Amino acid sequence: MRLITLLAGRYVAGDTLRDELRAVRRLNLRGMAATCDFLGENVLKKGRAEKATRSYIRILESLHLHHSDANISVKLSQLGLDIDESFCKKNMEQILARARELNNFVWLDMESSAYTDRAISMYKFFAHNYKKHLGICIQAYLRRSESDIKGLISLHPNIRLVKGAYKESSQLSFPQKKDVDDNYRHLAKLLLTSGPGLIALATHDERIVHDLIGWMKKNKIHANRVEFQMLYGIRKDLQQKLAKAGYKVRIYTPFGRQWFPYFYRRLRERKENLFFALKSLFHR
Ligand code: FDA
């Protein structure tokens, strides 16, 4: 059995685009949309960044061909941001241009705080020309995020709100989980009341999801203003429950061979995942 299946199979659709399209089809049949993530980050060779760019364009074309309800999400460090910013911009523009031609959508993942400024300026650079085709992820654990959102609001941005998955200092981020959760609620309400474009509430935290749905009802904010986003393989019960209740649900579905950093972040989020991963290695 391949290592990816053994270890990361719960979180990753497989090695190939074929695996990914199969996973997307299954999600679509269950009433959910998908976001395709071709795994890879911190690329330091131009050739690899160009290859990732071509792969993303191929994904967009395949999704179009198969009439899939799915978009894509990219990491700027995979498209060459660590090599040269203008090179990365060129790659990003190629992907965005194809996404617009095919009437699709590109999410910018948010990586560690070393990239936050550059990701936000990249978003601002493209937001005007690709308004309906580009969104950016904002992390509630960062102290700066409220001011980042306020700085973006005039662009009517498309924002995916997450808690944040990287190890950050307490100077930059809230060290206590409760403060991250409170800030998530606060930023979600800020987004819902300040009129950006698409708002993606990306969390598996059932209590937060439940509270925000109640808050939207109370404040007469229609559910079609938001989509709930979750990661492939996490809280499938909640994914299905929300979809059945008629909410738009989108599942972030990674594939590819560079799965280790993504898998590691998922392990870190819940210590017991490490135990399950080790158990799957020894009990087959
Ligand atoms: P929390 O960590 O409080 O978990 C709530 C519950 O979800 C847990 O009690 C458990 O039941 C379940 N759960 C959470 N993580 C789990 C895991 N790994 N395994 C099993 N169960 C788990 N981050 C980032 O920094 N940049 C980004 O671009 C993105 N992009 C992104 C897209 C989408 C669609 C999602 C859903 C998430 C991201 N993230 C991200 C990851 C995000 O920052 C965060 O690390 C995870 O979503 C876990 O946080 P929760 O909000 O789920 O809450």
Residue of the CA atom closest to atom 4 of ligand 1: 205
Residue 115 CA to ligand 1 center (angstroms) comes to: 19
The predicted structure's pLDDT at residue 33: 98
Alpha-carbon span 98 to 28, nearest angstrom: 22
Q: List 74's β-bridge partners, or say none.
A: 108
> For tokens 């989509």, what's the residue?
227
Give the span between the Cα atoms of 222 and 35, in whole angstroms: 23
Specify the ligand 1 atom closest to the Cα of 267.
Answer: 18
**Would you state the pLDDT for residue 4?**
63
Measured CA distances, 23 to 105, 132, 236, 255 (Å): 19, 25, 13, 10
With the most atoms of ligand 1 within 8 angstroms of its CB, the residue from 163, 248, 265, 267 to mutate is 163
- Work out the average pLDDT over 9-37: 96
pLDDT at 52 over 90: yes
Strands 226-231 and 249-255: parallel
- What does the radius of gyration of the chain's CA atoms come to, in whole angstroms? 18
Average pLDDT estimate for 91-98: 98
- Res. 284 pLDDT band, cuts 50 70 90: very low
What stretches of 224-282 show up as alpha helix (H) in DSSP?
236-244, 260-269, 271-282
pTM of the model: 0.95
How much of the chain, in percent, has pLDDT values that exceed 70?
92
Residues with CB under 6 A from ligand 1: 109-110, 137, 139, 162-166, 202-205, 229-231, 234-235, 252, 266, 269-270, 273
Residue 272 clears pLDDT 80, i.e. is over it = no
The residues, any chain, with a CB within 8 Å of residue 16's CB and separated by 6 or more, are: 255
Active site annotation includes 181:
no
Give the list of residues 6+ apart from residue 169 with CB closer than 8 angstroms, or none. none
254 beta partners: 37
Res. 196: pLDDT tops 80: no
Among 10, 73, 77, 203, say which to mutate for ligand 1: greatest number of ligand atoms within 8 Å of CB.
Answer: 203
CB-based contacts of 280, cutoff 8 Å, min separation 6:
6, 7
Question: Stretch 223-245: mean pLDDT, rounded?
Answer: 96
> pLDDT at position 274, please?
66
- Tell me the per-residue pLDDT of 137-184, one tens digit each, with 9 for 90 and over: 999 999 999 999 999 999 999 999 999 999 999 999 999 999 999 999
Q: Which of 42, 28, 40 is nearest to 71 (CA)?
A: 28
Tokens of 135: 């969104």
Is 109 a catalytic site residue?
yes
d(CA 27, CA 249): 10
